[in-house]
Structure 1
């Protein structure tokens, strides 16, 4: 299954859920039962109604039935993650929901210049926003689809929040939408909320045109009824033939530059390697080789893009003893990848995730994060690395 998101009027958490319900992708009773395990109340209900937004009829949703003592205008990220961990959600849903909150938390931390552990959410910490996130995670886990997205609409003007008056898109929203194609509309409104942007970022959608047999569509309606556009998001559900499925790996073509050297101090070569990386090389490798006349040497090779090739060639000629280089192009095959934050007894660290045809098959600790934690905590690097490996293994198992 492939789902294309048409962001006609933008995206918010309740619109994502409403579109999935409208497309008949959601067992509402099963989702309600899952939401009731969050510790917010045992009577949580999803109330659906058919409404018009502009010229389009779709579904609007709201939540009811949480306990009054669960009301809060803000919650710390750590509190929300603990609630998810202690819930009765399936492991895959927990991992996806925590990823969405961590993605948003990292954006908020970057905007406000604070550590991730200090992030607390205002509007997003409210009960209905919590339920929006967990519902989206439940849907994504259940449908097990690939995703693509249209251009992202953005309004203009300002909005008033607990942080004061801020521009549209909100700073955290703009941070989350980095890398997405954004189209500004002449509308004074917030079209994509931080919750909607975090869901998009977590989906890791394709931007390529989607193809397949159209199975169904669903329209999720926002709360406002705007004159300038229909405030809806559309789910377009496609069944794809094998030839149209996403390739198992990404590929690109890069330049390879290589030379063999047998008359230089290895310490200088280490310096040259760093110069090449600083100058834009994608990768630099040194490997021992046996050269003519039985001399031991080093093969220095790098990969780079077209825009850095000539500068890197000049650097090698100027900084090494070589008189010649070999230059050719090679195809790279790469796993789809992302960076995700995991929690350990020593603190937070990133792991690099590798996906093959949408399946998570690798989770590797980031060395720099592990080394920093070891230094800060005054413990052995091996202990930190193993703790991060255990957290990474949990992602693979989920």
Structure 2
């Protein structure tokens, strides 16, 4: 199944108008976006887009409040109340809330304000974030990748005096996700909205994909010196066969595995950090995720900020169940976000086999590489059944069964 991806070539930086303009240029329906935005209980606003011929051929995007003179400061802590569950798809709503949280946390840190007191002059930033996330969802984009970003050097006159060309809040958010930068003396902008978007919905990892469409978002002007800027957006497909990065020459171990005809498949790995749920709830969550079809669920103790003990939840799932399990984590835990990535998995072939033991027939799990039997182990449930039926310690049953299974392996190897 093809995996739809976007690659953002940010040679002039990234701002919300540049990114939304590029989405319009590859086919995002302006009227559909307006309709979706109008359904939200947010201040009246207008979204427009125009064809541009400079600095490249593309589209511009503009979003503005209908009555800016009536705008009041937007208190970021109030955002969840503005977007209660049900107002947007959770795969749109949750990333938007996370972006707002990133802005609030970095602003609180840099301005030394309580996070509940952080505010921006108006709500336009939230409108941009919603429009961008909705636009990607409407285009059925699965993942976003981004080029290295320009770190403009120098300063400019801001509303409160001279400030760096690269906003401290934008840099702080992108440090958290290990963004890749290159320095430049040119006035290339990474805006607050652009940084928030990248910190939540984009990856700086290299990617292999086939390009199906290219769009450009533009700020009108002939060149960067007179305000002209652009961003290139490449839309493409990432299939399992093309997802692998170029590999070095195979090692002896890799060659052995290939000769053994080991199997490969793709899985989705979900992760989230929890620091405020009880062990009882986490135990029930594990059972529920497995019932929904997760291949594996693990909990790892960890330490978070302010020295809080926490738990890293990691779920391995079939790709087709990734979204369902991510939504379950969002619904049934206290987390505000779930990280996910698609990974290729190398598997040994396994099959159940019933063997005769001193306890009678028992089911064991046999592991193969190609046709070579590598190992086998008794199934826990079988050992527990025998222990109950014969009223003997489980450890004794397991040791006897394991010893007799090893005899099976040795005999099989001698035959080959």
* Bin of the TM-score, shorter chain as denominator length: 0.5 to 0.7
SS where residue 38 of structure 1 aligns?
A: coil
Deviation digits for residues 107-159 of structure 1 (CA, Å, limit 9, x no counterpart): 2122223332232224xxx3432221111121233323222111101222223
Question: Alpha carbon RMSD of aligned pairs, Å?
Answer: 4.0
Residue range with higher mean Cα deviation, 134-143 or 171-180? 134-143
1:32 to 20, 34, 42: 34
What does residue range 311-390 of structure 1 map to in structure 2 within 5 Å?
A: 335=269, 337=271, 390=332
8 A Cα contact 2:76 2:118, kept in partner: yes
Distance 2:193 2:274 in 1: 18
8 A Cα contact 2:10 2:231, kept in partner: yes
1:171 Cα deviation (Å)? 0.8
Unaligned runs of 5+ in 2: 246-266, 277-293, 310-329, 339-416
8 A Cα contact 1:364 1:392, kept in partner: no
Distance 2:331 2:305 in 1: 10
Structure with larger Rg: 2
1:372 Cα deviation (Å)? 8.2
CA spacing shift, 1:37–1:362, aligned 2, 3 Å: farther
CA spacing shift, 1:105–1:37, aligned 2, 3 Å: same
1:237 to 235, 240, 259: 235
SS where residue 153 of structure 2 aligns?
A: coil
CA spacing shift, 1:22–1:28, aligned 2, 3 Å: same
Distance 2:221 2:119 in 1: 27
8 A Cα contact 1:39 1:87, kept in partner: no
SS where residue 189 of structure 2 aligns?
A: coil
Unaligned runs of 5+ in 1: 248-332, 343-358, 375-387
8 A Cα contact 1:364 1:389, kept in partner: no
Distance 1:373 1:227 in 2: 47
CA spacing shift, 1:239–1:369, aligned 2, 3 Å: closer
1:389 Cα deviation (Å)? 8.4
For the pair 1:11 / 2:11, whether they are aligned, the reply is no
8 A Cα contact 2:25 2:216, kept in partner: yes
SS where residue 205 of structure 1 aligns?
A: coil
| Count of aligned positions | 275
Distance 1:394 1:102 in 2: 9
Q: In the alignment, what sits opposite 2:373?
A: none
What does residue range 171-210 of structure 1 map to in structure 2 within 5 Å?
A: 171-178=168-175, 179-187=178-186, 189-210=187-208
CA spacing shift, 1:369–1:148, aligned 2, 3 Å: closer
**TM-score where L is the length of structure 1:** 0.58
Q: In the alignment, what sits opposite 2:381?
A: none
1:340 Cα deviation (Å)? 9.0
Distance 1:32 1:132 in 2: 12
What does residue range 72-111 of structure 1 map to in structure 2 within 5 Å?
A: 72=72, 74-85=73-84, 88-111=87-110
1:30 Cα deviation (Å)? 2.3
**TM-score where L is the length of structure 2:** 0.56
Q: In the alignment, what sits opposite 1:169?
A: 166
SS where residue 88 of structure 1 aligns?
A: coil
Distance 2:305 2:11 in 1: 43
SS where residue 13 of structure 2 aligns?
A: coil
